[in-house]
Chains A and B, each alone.
Chain A
């Protein structure tokens, strides 16, 4: 379980995350939604120990993140950030290898190589393994990073807006992949999404944030409600039932 207990984070006078208590890990995919500046990315940074909370604490599998060894955490929790700019020229294989760093500290064992192969296979990257990251398309790059996270072999996987800058086809591809990872590999995935319809289609649970607070936290179907969504985004949202699935319409 990932548990946030009364977590607060401030930047100067502004409170970005305001007394949030949440647990993740009970369901396959939990989607984190909310308008820009709602505190989603900050929340991720707090769980991923990039930031320290001003108040409260984050506990992963019973261990306080503030005191845990970074390496042990890295075997339980993998975080994929939004902006993955790499100055060096790395091949896909190099990148996926990095996923084994928490386990092997860079000296690869047979088990490590096995994990790397499986991750590359799972993301169908075999043909690209020797390619440099800057030679890949956006979707392939994102898959390479997810393969790295997969090779890390953690129970919890956190992804911050993995659909950013992807076209429609690659967006669905990535979301389907996450769904498979949750169902087949028993991963517990927390993902920040901008598109609520993707959240509704692929997530088991939706957590909506606004101004640093959690304003809705329920099964995907329940959050897909015009009143709830309007409260979250401050703009009228219509929800229609199409082929038995709730679809939010916000273009009107």
Chain B
């Protein structure tokens, strides 16, 4: 009641104050750190909801299992978000991502080849760490080769590279399928279990290792943040401003490869995830500076994963189809991006 009279009493001044308040909010909202803080708060809330709703049995046990999932999500969001944004900056476009360039299909091929040549026994006999190391190693070598072939020499059009990536993906997929046909059914079963993207049951040891690798990659990026900003101007301008372009790119590509390889080997391929996350981050962060876009990408990635999981589990009662949904939404989003850019 009191507030009401108060409001009526100062009626003439109220609109002015309201606009001032609105302007104040708008100014605050323009600050990148405010946006990031809000994002962080929403994520924390989502994590809490995820951890504590519908606990079937022992709380401690549920927390442990779900905590692992949350940790895996964080690692994947970091790896995918950071690597995609950096990849975009180096290649000077916002549509290509390592996954779209055939990386995911190559992961499947590598896994198939391992089973094919060593027998499915290898998945059982080898300890998972050795296997994981082999996968990460081979994928890093592949991506280094692919990136230097595609982006090292002459500058080609982004769309051409994109189509090359898509077709490479089909090539790798057909090749793995051929290999899979040559496997005996038992081997095939083991392989397809290993191939399905899954966040909900990560191996603890692998998770720790991946987290460590991703952390190392992220730390290695910190001194390069401002150089990355300059790289957004394109390589000629960056060279003109004294950036040792070749050296910087040769440092960045391995970091990108490492992150993508590590996270793909942990949870399997999610094709359009990087694309969605990075592009949402560019518009959300409100700044082109990597100090803001990189954390924003990580945050949005985390929010997509945890939010998506929550919605799917709580509302629809599906588990395990998160990656399919991301593919669908990602495909539409991708079309939207490409058509908007193409129409210009």
Contacts and interface: CB of A to CB of B under 8 A. Distances in A.
B232 A88 contact: yes
**Per DSSP, are chain A's interface residues mostly helix, strand or loop, or mixed?**
loop
B241 A99 contact: yes
Interface in B281-303: 282, 288
Contact of B237 (A72, A75, A84, A89): A84
B242 interface: yes
A74 B237 contact: no
B240 A78 contact: yes
B94 interface: yes
B167 interface: no
Interface string B28-71: 00000000000000000000000000000000000000000000
Interface in A43-79: 48-50, 69-75, 78-79
Interface in B51-107: 88, 92-94
A35 B321 CA distance: 61
B230 A101 contact: yes
Contact of B242 (A71, A81, A86, A87): A71
Contacts of A86: 232-234
A95 B132 CA distance: 43
A50 B236 contact: yes
Given A48-B240, A98-B241, A106 B234 contact: no
Given A87-B93, A89-B288, A106-B226, A98 B242 contact: no
Interface of B: 88, 92-94, 225-227, 229-230, 232-234, 236-237, 239-244, 282, 288
Given A81-B236, A86-B233, A99-B241, 6 more contacts: A50-B236, A70-B242, A78-B240, A88-B288, A101-B242, A106-B225
Interface of A: 48-50, 69-75, 78-81, 84-90, 94-95, 98-99, 101-102, 105-107, 152
27 contacts: A48-B239, A49-B239, A50-B236, A69-B242, A70-B239, A71-B244, A73-B242, A74-B240, A75-B242, A81-B236, A81-B237, A84-B233, A84-B234, A85-B234, A86-B233, A86-B234, A88-B288, A90-B232, A94-B288, A98-B229, A98-B233, A98-B237, A99-B241, A102-B241, A106-B225, A106-B227, A152-B241
